[in-house]
Each structure stands twice: as structure tokens, then as C-alpha cells.
Structure 1
Amino acid sequence: MPLYEHVFIARQDLSNAQAEGLIEHFGTVLGDNGGKLVDSEYWGVKTMAYKINKNRKGHYAFLKTDAPATAVQEMERLMRLHDDVMRVMTIKVDAHEEGPSVQMQKKDDRGDRRERR
């Protein structure tokens, strides 16, 4: 099955538990349609570059999935219909990277960046 990575932004007035509940909800949607949630990360509340629906901040979540295209389409459709989800981005990847994403890594662990002057 194809591998996908999804990032979605939920409204800022949700609690952390509700935002993490959205991750579980969309994981079960994938499971019901023949897919599998490989890994998920809750990135927390972050400030956005511009306002979306009069919100300056949002709950960010990252999902790694192994699912057929029909399951991903159904999950995206339900995300777009959900009132708490403001934005969704899905990318098809060749392979999932091991370990935490760049957002979850400490700055000291990111050794591949050059020095600033």
C-alpha cells in the first residue's frame, strides 16, 4: 500500500485532549477503510504565519499512514467536513523516516544545519 504523511491544524480553543482525540478519530477512519496509522505526533499549539478563520494559533498534528488511496480520500473528506479542523495537507512519500519528525527533535539533535553568521 502507498505511504502518506498528513499534517492538520485544529482550532486553538480545543483542549489538548480533544486535539489528540482527533488523531485517534481519524486513525480509526483509516482502519475502517483498510488502512493503518503507522505513527502519529501531536506537535502542540503553534502560532501561524497568518490568520485562518480568525484564529492566530492552532493545534498541529502529524500522521504517518499506510493506506490505500480510497481510505486517504475518505479521511481527507471527513477532515474537511469537521468543524474543528482548519487545514489539511497530505503528501505521498516513498518511505517513512525513522524516529521523530523535525518538529519534535531538539535543536541540538539537528546537526545537519550550518552555522548562522
Structure 2
Amino acid sequence: MREYEAMIIAKADLPEAELSKMVSKWETIIGTDGGQVIKKESWGVRRLAYPINKQNRGNYFVYDVATNQVNVHELERVLKLEENVLRSMVIKLADQVNVEDRRLELQKQAEAAAQRAAEAAREKAESESLGARRGRDDE
């Protein structure tokens, strides 16, 4: 199996039921013949850099998947025909992928990012409290 990353931008004003139906359809296509979703991110509704089909906002989805080339072609075909999808792009990341190893790697990256964010927040809080003490010392 090959590893792919897919970014899909759907219309922002879609009802939740219709959106979940579309997402389920995409995941079914990916999962055909043993394909697997390694990681799925929903970035939510964001402002587009430029209007697409008179839409200024889009609902972003990012998938990291392990599947075969046939499933990717079918997914791309379905995304092009779907009127509620504004833009999509699928790129190949690797020719061979071990799904469990990749999931562990992504989990470690997420934990490291969370740790860095916590350290940055702690440093910011310390610098703010130090600045507040200096302000009182000046009085």
C-alpha cells in the first residue's frame, strides 16, 4: 500500500448531516480493498485566500491514508463530481507504508508538539508574572 495525503475543501454552509454523509462516502472509498485512514483532521471552517464559486469560506479536511492507486483515482473522480467540494488535492507521500509504524510516528509528533506548546505557555506565564513583579517594584 502507498501513503497519500488528501486535502479537501467543502462548502462551509453545508448542513451537518450532509457533511457527515460526504465524509463517510470518502472514507468508504479509501477503505476499499484494505485501505486505511491513518490520520484524519478536520480544520473546520476557514476563510479562503480567494473566492471559489462565489464562496469565501470553506470547511477543510486533511486525510493521511494508506490505500492503493485505484482507490485514489476513484476518490479524485468522486471529489471532482461532487458539487459541494470546492477544491481537493491528493499527493503521494510514500510508495510503501507500515500503517502501525506511521500511526506511532504521528502520535509521537503530536505529543512533542503538545509538550512544546505547554512549555511555551509556561514560559509566557513566567515572563508575565516576572513583569508584573517588576512593575510593583518600580512603585
Summarize deviations over 1:6-59 as a string: whole Å, max 9, x none: 000001211345334322210101223542222211110000110000000011
Matches within 5 A, 1:57-72: 57-72=57-72
List gaps (5 residues or longer) in structure 1: 112-117
Mapped partners of 1:91, 1:109: distance in 2: 29
Contact 1:23 / 1:40 at 8 angstroms: preserved in 2? Answer: no
Higher strand content, 1 or 2: 1
- Amino acid across the alignment from 1:60: Y
Could you tell me how far 1:60 is from its partner in structure 2?
0.4
Distance 1:3 1:20, change over 3 A: same
Corresponding residue of 2:78: 78
**Paired residues, what number?**
108
Give the alignment's TM-score, normalised by structure 2. Answer: 0.66
Q: Deviations over 1:45-100 (max 9, x none)?
A: 00011000000001100111101111101011001101111100111113656049
Q: CA, structure 1 residues 110+59, in 2 after alignment: closer, same or farther (shift >3 Å)?
A: farther
Q: Distance in 2 between matches of 1:58 and 1:84?
A: 10
The percentage of aligned residue pairs carrying the same residue is 31
Q: Does 1:88 align with 2:96?
A: no
Tell me, what secondary structure is at the counterpart of 1:83?
Answer: coil
CA contact (8 A) 1:35 1:65 kept: yes
Q: Please show how residues 36-51 of structure 1 align to structure 2 within 5 Å.
A: 36-51=36-51
Q: Supply the RMSD in Å over aligned alpha carbons.
A: 2.7
Q: Which has the higher helix share?
A: 2
The structure that has the greater radius of gyration is 2
**Aligned-partner Cα distance in 2 for 1:37–1:51:** 30
Asked whether the equivalents of residues 3 and 67 of structure 1 are also in contact (C-alpha less than 8 Å), the reply is: yes
Partner of 2:21: 21
TM-score by length of structure 1 reads 0.77
Aligned to 1:98, what secondary structure does the other structure show? helix
Gaps of 5+ in 2: 120-139
What amino acid is aligned across from residue 89 of structure 1 in structure 2?
M
